[in-house]
Amino acid sequence: MTFLSSAVFAQSKTDKIKVLGNCGTCKHKIETSLKVPGVSSAEWDKAAKVLTVTYDEAKINNKQIQKKVAAVGYDTELFKAKDKVYNKLHNCCKYDRTGKTSETH
């Protein structure tokens, strides 16, 4: 009984975050950027431009998640990727930074 009372239960949370991008390469980079402690799943929907992420609030928060995505070149609701990082993306990954969707991708 002592073991059960001292157990700490993780607080799992799922958020949907707008993340700009265009293609399968974007999807791979966005999702791979979140293979970090505390994130149990991350799936980016190319058509909707929405990242669904499930994470342990005790280990990582929404802002930290968005910073990690922006760090690999993709603008989120809260953070814009640095121009230097964005400019290194493949040509097919260079999304419209005004937030408009591209008809070609």
pLDDT, tens digit, 9 for 90 and up, residues 63-96: 999 999 999 999 999 999 999 999 999 999 999 9
- The tokens of 22 are what? 């265009």
Report the DSSP beta bridge partners of residue 13. Answer: 55
DSSP assigned state of 61: -
pTM of the model: 0.84
- The tokens of 5 are what? 């009372």
Residue 10 pLDDT class (50, 70, 90 cuts) = low
| pLDDT score at 105 | 31
Nearest-angstrom CA–CA distance, 27 and 45: 8
